[in-house]
């Protein structure tokens, strides 16, 4: 277990914001976590993963918890399926790489997403037509107030687009220790999203490994590497609007991209932000990425407040132009 006071969070947030936490504790097992919360209580705690979906606007005056629970364990296997129980502290993309190497599929479209396995179950990470909820079977947690173990089945997690019970009703109340995934041994390609199909090497055999490679190159082309330019991936969620609202905008913008969802029409926030002229522009040391306007970047030494000021300005422009409220998906602390 690691336990530090006045600890720099620079290497724990991909935005590269230079803030500190009063205390930082990293635990390696459920028992260690239970012992930590027994001693420090559950007040003023923030549990983080890889820090890839966080914006710190100042020093954190409390205790940051981080899981170093590792391991990938096979819990069930049939001819068609494999069920894996994974430690919350495993790096998400290492897990994806491992499953693809083994010839298992289901999460290859979620390649190169930064962050850790525990956070994948909180955020319901999604990309290229696949969401974590599609493959999550069970989420194991520890309740921070009691130290008791609680297991959530997939349906109990209330998953939706970038949503889960852990981000809403139970926010900050449970720490995820393990996530169990149900993957397939029979490869069913999901390549209808955007331009995956046209980007795939048509000469090569279609495998999960090829889809992973294609997704990796697509992401590397569009999304900034946090090691080079601080960022937290998509800063905003794509708004879902009524069909009436959608039709009224489409009259003016016939080429507007969109996705039909159960709850209404989803309009890419990145497209709206680009229409507002923000793509590639900056405010102080905070910028809108030049290749994907959904991503805000730290141009070097930005504070969380500067990024937030840019976010507010972008939301304001989108509201003025389209009459739509867009909201950060990044957790602002």
Please give the positions annotated as active site: 162, 234, 329
Binding mask 85-124 for ligand EPU (x = CB under 6 A): ----------------------------------------
CA distance 48 to 198: 37
The structure tokens listed for 85 are: 């129980």
For residues 183-212, which are near ligand EPU according to CB under 6 A? 194
Q: How many CB atoms lie within 10 A of CB 159?
A: 20
Closest CA to 150 of 178, 172, 118: 178
Beta carbon nearer to ligand EPU, 46 or 237: 237
Q: How many CB atoms lie within 10 A of CB 277?
A: 12
Binding mask 286-315 for ligand EPU (x = CB under 6 A): ------xxx---------------------
Do the bridges between strand 20-27 and strand 60-67 make them parallel or antiparallel, or are there none, so unpaired? parallel
Shortest approach of ligand EPU to residue 15 CB, angstroms?
A: 12
What secondary structure does DSSP assign to 13-55, as a single string?
-TT----EEEEEEEESSHHHHHHHHHHH-STTEEEESSSTTEE
CA dist list (Å): 325 to 99, 237, 263, 271, 318 = 38, 10, 16, 14, 7
Beta carbon nearer to ligand EPU, 30 or 93: 93
Shortest approach of ligand EPU to residue 121 CB, angstroms?
A: 15
Beta carbon nearer to ligand EPU, 49 or 270: 270
| Member of 13, 152, 279, 302 binding ligand EPU (CB under 6 A) | 279
Shortest approach of ligand EPU to residue 189 CB, angstroms?
A: 15
Shortest approach of ligand EPU to residue 218 CB, angstroms?
A: 8
CA distance 251 to 234: 27
Beta carbon nearer to ligand EPU, 12 or 266: 266
Beta carbon nearer to ligand EPU, 69 or 295: 295
| Member of 49, 51, 115, 268 binding ligand EPU (CB under 6 A) | 268
The structure tokens listed for 280 are: 């590639």
How many residues bind ligand EPU (CB under 6 A)? The answer is 18
Structural element, H or E, at residue 261: strand 259-261
200's CB contacts (< 8 A; 6+ apart) are 191, 206, 210, 211, 214
Shortest approach of ligand EPU to residue 287 CB, angstroms?
A: 13
Residue with the two structure tokens 């981080």: 66
Binding of ligand EPU at residue 226 (CB under 6 A)? no
For residues 233-262, which are near ligand EPU according to CB under 6 A? 233-234, 237-238, 257
Q: How many CB atoms lie within 10 A of CB 255?
A: 6
Shortest approach of ligand EPU to residue 39 CB, angstroms?
A: 35
Residue nearest to ligand EPU (CB): 233
Binding site for ligand EPU (CB under 6 A): 127-128, 194, 223, 233-234, 237-238, 257, 268, 270-271, 274, 279, 292-294, 329
């Amino acid at each position: 277990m690691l336990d530090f006071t006045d600890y720099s969070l620079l290497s724990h947030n991909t935005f590269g914001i230079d803030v500190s936490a009063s205390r930082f504790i990293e635990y390696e097992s459920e028992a260690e976590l239970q012992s930590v919360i027994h001693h420090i209580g559950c007040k003023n705690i923030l549990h983080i993963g890889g820090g890839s979906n966080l914006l710190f606007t100042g020093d954190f005056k409390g205790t940051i918890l981080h899981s170093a629970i590792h391991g990938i364990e096979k819990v069930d296997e049939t001819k068609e399926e494999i069920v894996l129980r994974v430690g919350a502290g495993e790096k998400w993309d290492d897990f994806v790489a491992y499953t693809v190497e083994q010839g298992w599929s289901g999460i290859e479209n979620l390649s190169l997403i930064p962050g850790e396995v525990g956070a994948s179950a909180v955020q319901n990470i999604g990309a290229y037509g696949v969401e974590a909820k599609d493959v999550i079977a069970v989420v194991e947690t520890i309740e921070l107030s009691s130290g008791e173990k609680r297991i959530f089945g997939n349906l109990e997690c209330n998953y939706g687009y970038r949503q889960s019970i852990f981000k809403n009703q139970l926010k900050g109340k449970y720490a995820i220790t393990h996530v169990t995934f149900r993957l397939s041994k029979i490869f069913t390609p999901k390549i209808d999203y955007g331009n995956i199909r046209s980007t795939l090497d048509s000469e090569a055999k279609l495998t999960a490994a090829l889809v992973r490679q294609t997704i990796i190159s697509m992401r590397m082309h569009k999304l900034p590497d946090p090691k080079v330019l601080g960022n937290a991936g998509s800063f905003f969620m794509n708004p879902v609007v009524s069909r009436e609202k959608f039709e009224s905008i489409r009259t003016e913008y016939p080429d507007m991209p969109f996705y039909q969802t159960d709850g209404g029409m989803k309009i890419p926030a990145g497209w709206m932000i680009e229409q507002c002229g923000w793509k590639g522009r900056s405010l102080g040391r905070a910028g809108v990425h030049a290749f994907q306007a959904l991503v805000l970047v730290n141009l070097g030494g930005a504070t969380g407040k500067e990024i937030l000021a840019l976010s507010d300005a972008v939301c304001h422009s989108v509201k003025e132009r389209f009459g739509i409220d867009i909201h950060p998906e990044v957790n602002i602390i």
